[in-house]
Amino acid sequence: MRPSLLDPLFAPAASLPGIGPKNAKLFDRLLGKPEGARVVDVLFHLPYATLDRRARPKIRDAIPDTIVTIEAKVTEHREPPNARSRAPFTVLVEDETGDVELVFFLANHAWVRSRLPVGATRWISGKLERWDGRNQIVHPDRVMDADEFARLPAVEPVYGLTEGLFQRTVARAAEGALKRLPRLPEWIGAETLHLMKLPGFEEALRSMHRPAAPRDVDSAGPAATRLAYDELLANQLALLLVRARMRGLSGRAHVAEGALGRRLETALPFSLTGAQRKAVEEIRADLKAEKRMIRLLQGDVGSGKTIVALIAMVEVVEAGRQAAMMAPTEVLARQHYERMAPLAEGAGLRIALMTGRDKASERRATLAALASREIDIAVGTHALFQESVAFADLGLAVVDEQHRFGVRQRLALASKGEVADLLVMTATPIPRSLVLAYFGDMDVSALREKPPGRQPIDTRAMPIERLQEVAAGLARALANGARAYWICPLVEESETLDVAAAEDRTAHLRALFGDAVGLVHGRMNGPDKDAAMARFQKGETKILVATTVVEVGVDVPEATIMIVEHAERFGLAQLHQLRGRVGRGAGRSSCLLLYKGPLGEAAQARLETLRETEDGFRIAEEDLRLRGEGDVLGARQAGAPGFRFARLEVHGSLLKRAREEAAAALKRSERLTGEENRGLRLLLYLFERNEAARLIEAG
Ligand code: ADP
Ligand code: MG
């Protein structure tokens, strides 16, 4: 249970000053908590910039295009001639060195008159511009009398907002949240604090929300670093606790003679690459050992992970247990099943598919067969790991495209196969720093080598204005028997718009290519999706228009052309994944990245990188480097996925220390008991690593 000391932070945010029944929903949206934001969410919503109002010049000395705060006397009102006029309401103010026009468009005249009466002295703050030799401030941010000025913070925090919320409201709520912060014990070790010169937790939050200088909110500054370190420390503690738990559930040795695996291998139409062979050996060694396997199989798209996993599963079955493979989408689960079924059945194994789409009667039959061990290998979506599914004796769980699953599903999986070995696979090669952050200390096998015979993919970027040329080129390629994917724009947070765009493009392409054009998107029901995929696979359709449902794992070796529309809207890893759909067979493949200009710097760098390299590992590193330079609001507000503060391109170097500190703490006390660990226990709850926190409670 969460210590009551933290209760004030987990009270509803609506209890804070400035948040009333009207704007509580806006805060929920801003803070990404549809179920109701809490005080801690407000506290952790950090400013991403500041407004520096420390410049208090005389008018003559004011620097154009900077924020200035001046003391001046109001000398004249120039009102628009009549109510309907579009002319601004201008107020002239002066000090002994010069004058400034305050310009108000569409102003509330009564407000201007009463705030700036002629003859009064006021403090005015805003961006000064020089226009036609005159000084202007258009819509001053602040108009203050002496009392108000006395309360003006010299440096104001600037928060990310949502429509309908104002800076001042958020700042007020944050101020209220700071006041609710209980006195908390220090959880970072003295040595780390000293070495890294970190401020305290409370001090860090204070200096972010009440910055004294712009660098106080800098993500590389001491305050942000402190908070990022706290988060990484909580995260590493949680990972180590979960891992200790998984390892502690002593693994079992899966002892197989290897005959089935060999039979499977000889049935393959190809021989394994050196990298595949090595991965298989590493996995075999883990399976044989008493300790529980927790291994990540990293390999670029098309590097042949599936067969490695299948060999591992077959091994476990030969040792007398069951194996399961979980994929993130229906399409992918089905494809795995269809691929593996002939091979597995050829080796005398019983394999079944289980997805959320199964009829109740089918599902019941599968469940019974799993429980009675009539099924050796189960392939499915996360439906496989729901409460109601009971395996007779699960020996190995394989998770494909791991990065698409959240922590919760991963934990569900861990508890499902209490003693099952775990193999997770990812097609997005993850830099070491991310592996540590997300998975903790897993063993890693990597397939860096691709199966032989693959040709480089000719990658080009082209403005969408050249669509006609693209269509003509496509027509020629189709005439030569090619097959093509056409990926449609990703519309932020709107599946409906995604679908509309894909339907429009399909109509357009059908006008050119007739029945050769198929469509698959996220809103289609399962059977329709399968049917569309199957037609493309069989070559009945030659162009498959798709939203990003084809992103992961789908394998149609005959497809040699990938066209991505609005490529500038996709992330680097995603584009790399998409491109990986082609270049799988022997034919020469190409990838066309259609963009709508003008391109931002980051988008340009992404397309550039893709043209330069196909090495997924390099692309992953580049992705990490570039992500910090995305659009200011989007990227600066949010940390890496799953993190609030930590941004690995900035704070990645803290990770190692956080890991060591977490490990040392758990070594001293594996349940973090005792007064000296009170801070760390609080930290887990503060950062809501609740699943992990539960592991240190009695039981
Ligand atoms: P991914 O790593 O992206 O999951 P897959 O396992 O889907 O890749 O494999 C991609 C393609 O490569 C499949 O068609 C598979 O049959 C083929 N493949 C896998 N291993 C080899 C190999 N050693 N030689 C030739 N083709 C292979
Ligand atoms: Mg795959």
Report how far ligand 2's centroid is from the alpha carbon of 400 (Å).
7
For residue 507, CA distances in Å to 472, 503, 543, 561 come to 17, 6, 12, 20
Whether the link from the prior residue into 452 is cis, omega within 30° of 0, is no
Last residue of a domain, one of 565, 593, 613: 613
What is the distance between the alpha carbons of residues 40 and 21, in angstroms, rounded to a whole number? 18
For residue 564, CA distances in Å to 470, 522, 567 come to 11, 17, 6
Residue nearest atom 10 of ligand 1, based on CA coordinates: 302
Structure tokens at 423: 């193999």
Ligand 1 atom with minimal separation from the 308 CA: 6
Per-residue model confidence (pLDDT) at position 495: 57
Residue nearest atom 15 of ligand 1, based on CA coordinates: 304
What is the distance between the alpha carbons of residues 532 and 523, in angstroms, rounded to a whole number? 13
**Domain total of the chain:** 4
Residue nearest atom 22 of ligand 1, based on CA coordinates: 451
Q: What is the pLDDT of residues 324-351, one digit of tens each?
A: 999 888 888 988 999 999 999 988 999 9
Assigned domain for 172 exists: yes
Q: Which ligand is nearest to the CA of 304?
A: 1
Assigned domain for 244 exists: no
Report how far ligand 1's centroid is from the alpha carbon of 376 (Å).
23
Are 358 and 309 members of one domain?
yes
Per-residue model confidence (pLDDT) at position 616: 81
Per-residue model confidence (pLDDT) at position 412: 57
CATH number at residue 145: 2.40.50.140
Assigned domain for 657 exists: no
Per-residue model confidence (pLDDT) at position 638: 36
Last residue of a domain, one of 152, 178, 203: 152
Backbone φ/ψ region at 224: left (φ over 0), alpha (ψ -120 to 50), beta: alpha
**Which H or E run contains 447?**
strand 443-447
Are 478 and 543 within 8 A, CB to CB?
A: yes
Are 495 and 548 members of one domain?
yes
* Amino acid present at 336: H
Q: Which ligand is nearest to the CA of 581?
A: 1
Per-residue model confidence (pLDDT) at position 635: 30
Report how far ligand 2's centroid is from the alpha carbon of 81 (Å).
71
Are 442 and 505 members of one domain?
no
Are 76 and 36 members of one domain?
no
Report how far ligand 1's centroid is from the alpha carbon of 332 (Å).
14
Which of 307, 337, 582 to mutate for ligand 1's pocket (most ligand atoms within 8 Å of CB)?
307
Report how far ligand 2's centroid is from the alpha carbon of 181 (Å).
47
- The pTM is what? 0.65
10 Å CB burial of residue 361 (0-12, 13-18, 19+) is: exposed
Are 143 and 164 members of one domain?
no
Give pairs for 585-588: CB < 8 Å, separation 24+. Answer: 585/557, 585/558, 585/560, 586/453, 586/455, 587/455, 587/482, 587/558, 587/560, 588/455, 588/458, 588/560
Are 427 and 368 members of one domain?
yes
Assigned domain for 145 exists: yes
Ligand 1 lining (C-beta closer than 6 Å): 270, 272-273, 276, 299, 301-307, 427, 451, 553, 555, 557, 584
Last residue of a domain, one of 111, 131, 152: 152
* Amino acid present at 301: V
* Amino acid present at 545: V
What is the distance between the alpha carbons of residues 286 and 396, in angstroms, rounded to a whole number? 11
Ligand 1 atom with minimal separation from the 447 CA: 2
Residues in the chain: 699
CATH number at residue 295: 3.40.50.300
Per-residue model confidence (pLDDT) at position 257: 85
What is the distance between the alpha carbons of residues 24 and 212, in angstroms, rounded to a whole number? 29
Are 59 and 70 within 8 A, CB to CB?
A: yes
Assigned domain for 629 exists: no
Q: Which ligand is nearest to the CA of 300?
A: 1
Ligand 1 atom with minimal separation from the 273 CA: 23
Assigned domain for 648 exists: no
Are 45 and 59 members of one domain?
no
Are 325 and 291 members of one domain?
yes
Are 349 and 491 members of one domain?
no
Assigned domain for 660 exists: no
Report how far ligand 1's centroid is from the alpha carbon of 302 (Å).
5
Backbone φ/ψ region at 481: left (φ over 0), alpha (ψ -120 to 50), beta: left
Ligand 1 atom with minimal separation from the 453 CA: 25
DSSP line for 283-339? HHHHHHSSSPPEEEEEE-TTS-HHHHHHHHHHHHHHTT-EEEEE-SSHHHHHHHHHH
Per-residue model confidence (pLDDT) at position 272: 94
Report how far ligand 1's centroid is from the alpha carbon of 555 (Å).
9
Alpha-helical regions (H) of 329-466? 330-346, 360-371, 407-416, 432-439
Q: What is the pLDDT of residues 73-122, one digit of tens each?
A: 999 999 988 877 888 999 999 999 999 999 998 888 899 999 999 999 99
Report how far ligand 1's centroid is from the alpha carbon of 265 (Å).
13
Q: Which domain holds residue 87?
A: 54-152
Are 59 and 45 members of one domain?
no
What is the distance between the alpha carbons of residues 543 and 443, in angstroms, rounded to a whole number? 40
Q: Which residue from 574, 571, 586, 554 is spatially nearest to 485, judged by alpha carbons?
A: 554
Which residue is associated with the tokens 């972010």?
A: 208
Residue nearest atom 24 of ligand 1, based on CA coordinates: 451
Assigned domain for 29 exists: yes
Are 47 and 58 members of one domain?
no
Ion ligand 2: residues, Cβ under 5 Å:
553
Are 538 and 516 within 8 A, CB to CB?
A: no
Residue nearest atom 27 of ligand 1, based on CA coordinates: 451
Q: Which residues of the chain have pLDDT under 50?
A: 407, 492-493, 628-640, 699
Are 489 and 597 members of one domain?
yes
Report how far ligand 1's centroid is from the alpha carbon of 303 (Å).
6
Sign of the torsion formed by the C-alpha atoms of 634, 636, 638 and 640: positive
Q: Which residue from 271, 254, 211 is spatially nearest to 48, judged by alpha carbons?
A: 211
Are 44 and 174 within 8 A, CB to CB?
A: no
